[in-house]
Chains A and B, each alone.
Chain A
Amino acid sequence: MVTEVRMPKLGLTMTKGTIKKWLKSEGDAVRKGEPLLIIETEKITSTIEAPASGYLIKIVAQAGSTVPVGNLIAYIGEMGEQIPSITAAPEVVPTQVAPAPPERVVARPAAPARVRATPRARALAEKEGIDLSQVAGSGPGGLITEDDVLKYIEGIKARTKLGLRVKKSIPLTPLRATIAERMSESLRTMAQVTIMREEDVSKLIKLREELQPVIEKEVGIRLTYTPMLIKAVAEVLKEHPLINSTLEDNEIKVIDEINVGFAVAVDHGLVVPVIKNADKKSLKDIVIECNELARKAREGTLSLDDVSGGTFTITNLGMYGVDGFTPIINPPQVAILGVGRIISKPAVVDGRVDVRPLCTFSLTFDHRVIDGHTAAQFLDGLIKLLGNETALREVLRVS
């Protein structure tokens, strides 16, 4: 069956739309819901999805033409299927100004002239979806060469799709591309909620001052808050198994290992090395491992093993002056703890205002797996531990 594709009405005031670009060529297979073309109205540029699956058997309105809402622009059907004879020619409003690329204004002939281009130029244009009638030819007699198409593509890249000037284009590095994909996958697939608490961390500070010389003496590494928090979080996770779980095939799988990842900023990206079985390791071992993993992260020598298997992640933006934020869960984990800066602030202690070192903890959790109270209990458990000097000292045993 042939399905007609018509110019959609995207807003109350829309009366016509300009076909900016067909994302499929005649003869291409299309799936229902797949992006089919880009249209432009006075207000927006929008991608239109295919209304049916099959083949794009005929494009009635070419790129560049402006078509009233509701008018026929293409047919989708089976290969070889007959297109109903078009009784009334589609009412196509000739575009006044061609969507020419910046600084390459090409005079458009009234009737589309046959485009003269070399086979290499045509092959490139076809693969890159370039309309050759928009490209100025520099070859003999105006023949469009491969170079001309390449220059045209460069020209397009000099502007964003909405026509904004681009200062510089940075290709996504493989690391950046992975981050982009994982982060959007995370937000697309999970129901993420962030809760925050600001708490007094004077006990943590005190313990750090106390343990720092011991650690330094034993392993020659300066003690930071990261290994201490990893150890504390691992301890609290033991009591809150749902936070240390994953959702797989409609089952919540509570994981029997506690592997805590910590985010490390590297050039143009972020990596998350993992301390495996953090609950079973001593503070000293975690300090050594953190130091080693952070070095490998900076040198770009982390192995796949170093960054896999995490069950929970800590991300610390305190050094950048951040308080609370909404970290994004590192899938397939179900929660992540964001740590803010430690800052001295007035706080009420025993009914009196005092200056205390406060830190904001931001816990993002996947609401599909964890409910608010479960998450709040975990965060509360962590804060209670950080506030209990005896218990904390016990957890943060050096070896």
Chain B
Amino acid sequence: MSAKECDLLVIGGGPAGFWAGLVGAIKGLKTILAEEGPLGGTCLNRGCVPLAVFLNYISALRLVKKLADEGYGVSLKDLTIDAVNMFKSIKSKVVDPLSGSMRDVLENLGVEVINGRALLESGNSARVGSEVIKFKRAVVATGLRWGGINGAMPPTEFTDIDEVPSTVVVIGGNAFGLGIASAFSLLGSEVILVEDGELLSGFDKEIVDYVTLALLERGVRIFTNAKVVNIINKGDIKETHLINPEGELRISSDEVIDASTYVPRNEVFGGVSVRLKGGYVAVDEYLRTSTPNIYAAGDITGNLPYAHVAIVQGIIAGLNASGGNLRINYKAVPKYLYAYPDAFSAGLTEAEAKELGYEVAVARQSLTSNALAKASGSEGIIKIVVDAKYGGILGIHGAGVGISELINEAAILLGLESTSDAVLATFLAHPTVGEVLREALIQVTKS
């Protein structure tokens, strides 16, 4: 059988692979993308996208309910939410069409999308099913697979539930875990959150405190520094055995979701040996693996497991595989919690900035006095860490319902190394939620 030939083979059609393939095609490479599932990867199909859509719909409904409850002239009778149905609808009406349109985008650019699991056989050939593909360069973006504890459900299956559990244990105080925990909490489940370290590692402490308090107020029970020993099925009930500094604990629940543990899908490398780092595929700042014509992007590289990291890696890997020479710089990666409330931490936290020896000025501003926040039902706080010496913006952090609208402003201001005075001289529109940045930065202006 004759082999297919291409300039660029992309393995994996998640955020990293999609963007790598797109860039390769735009750059004129004959590009093949192999994906065993639907395009869009975990994020679109079973992760952040359906979760964010769900939370957004719930937020919208809560805004309507608030208008009704607080006498804004809105009357509302019998607002009920059938979550199982909503998840199904999100899948069929939002996720699947988006995945389909990703395929259209690639195919319109001339990318051949092959459905199947790829395995590298050598530095320039791979097998997808019975098909052999010869390539000049490859981008591997196969991501992570769930590696959670026995007896637990992967968080990626939350849209497939048959009924809303009345009690659910969520393991993992990371962004995905908190997102799942808030979703079930909003649906009326009693949620118990278990994390073996601290919640939202890497976020600014004030942001973590805000989110923690909001979850506690919603009735979520939180166990930090708690390690899950095992989960025992007792008929319809699952019993989670955990150890925390206070001792041992057994928690009964209808469901246990483990969002804490994932492992890289390295088996794709089959016949090619690449250097690993901490179990993940090691890449240099150009996203090259130790086999020079093979690049890797996305979660398999062991960076912060955010889709936005994967996307930028995919773009840079795609460009470099097309003859570019771009380096990736993770300095301004925003950490993102899409939950209820949502939160982000971009750049340096206050503690990190102090540790690095900066003379730090901190600006804080609440959304309480922001007109458009009232209109959109947003609330929360913004905290900006500024280098007091030169006015450089070192970190932007936010927590509150709807606050994540500001994450891209934060990413751009940090990525382009802005200063407080530069932002104050910028025409941030009014009324917007984003002008809260101006309200905060006026407190620390250098001029």
Q: Could you tell me which A residues sit within 8 Å of B by CB distance?
A: 118-124, 127, 145-146
Contact = CB atoms under 8 A, between A and B. Distances in A.
Interface string B376-408: 000000000001011111000000000000000
A119 B422 contact: yes
Interface centre among A121, A127, A146, by most chain B C-beta atoms within 10 angstroms, is A146
A380 to B, nearest CB: 57
Given A123-B421, A124-B390, 17 more contacts: A118-B418, A119-B417, A119-B419, A120-B387, A120-B390, A120-B392, A120-B393, A120-B417, A122-B419, A123-B390, A123-B392, A123-B419, A123-B446, A124-B392, A145-B417, A146-B392, A146-B417
B396 to A, nearest CB: 13
B76 interface: no
A118 B332 CA distance: 14
Contacts of B392: 119-120, 123-124, 146
A146 B446 CA distance: 17
B416 interface: yes
A191 B230 CA distance: 85
Contacts of A120: 387, 390, 392-393, 417-419
A123 B447 CA distance: 12
B279 to A, nearest CB: 30
A121 B391 CA distance: 11
Interface in B389-447: 389-393, 416-419, 421-422, 446
A120 B392 CA distance: 5
Interface of B: 387, 389-393, 416-419, 421-422, 446
Nearest to B394: A120
Contacts of A122: 419
B389 A121 contact: no
B389 A127 contact: yes
B359 to A, nearest CB: 12
Nearest to A138: B327
Contacts of B389: 127
A123 B391 contact: yes
Contacts of A123: 390-392, 419, 421, 446
B157 to A, nearest CB: 40
Nearest to A123: B390
A100 B221 CA distance: 61
Nearest to B425: A119
B420 to A, nearest CB: 9
A120 B387 CA distance: 10
A156 to B, nearest CB: 17
18 contacts: A119-B392, A119-B416, A119-B417, A119-B418, A119-B419, A119-B421, A119-B422, A120-B387, A120-B393, A120-B417, A120-B418, A121-B417, A123-B390, A123-B392, A123-B419, A124-B390, A124-B392, A127-B389
Contacts of B391: 123
Contacts of A127: 389-390
A121 B446 CA distance: 15
Contact of A118 (B387, B417, B446): B417
B389 to A, nearest CB: 7
A140 to B, nearest CB: 8
Q: Which of B390, B392, B393 has the most CB of A within 10 A?
A: B390
A127 B393 CA distance: 16
Contacts of A124: 390, 392
Most buried by A among B392, B421, B446: B392
Contacts of B422: 119
Nearest to B419: A119
Contacts of B387: 120
A127 B392 CA distance: 12
Nearest to B418: A119
Nearest to B331: A147
A122 B390 CA distance: 9
Contacts of B393: 120
Contacts of B418: 118-120
A119 B412 CA distance: 12
Nearest to A126: B390
A127 B446 CA distance: 12
Nearest to B387: A120
B272 to A, nearest CB: 31
Contacts of A145: 417
Interface centre among A120, A121, A124, A127 (most CB of B within 10 A): A120
Nearest to B413: A119
Give the one of A118, A119, A124, A146 with max B CB within 10 A.
Answer: A119
A137 to B, nearest CB: 12
| Residue among B416, B417, B446 with max Cβ neighbours from chain A (10 Å) | B417
Nearest to A117: B417
A174 B129 CA distance: 71
B330 to A, nearest CB: 13
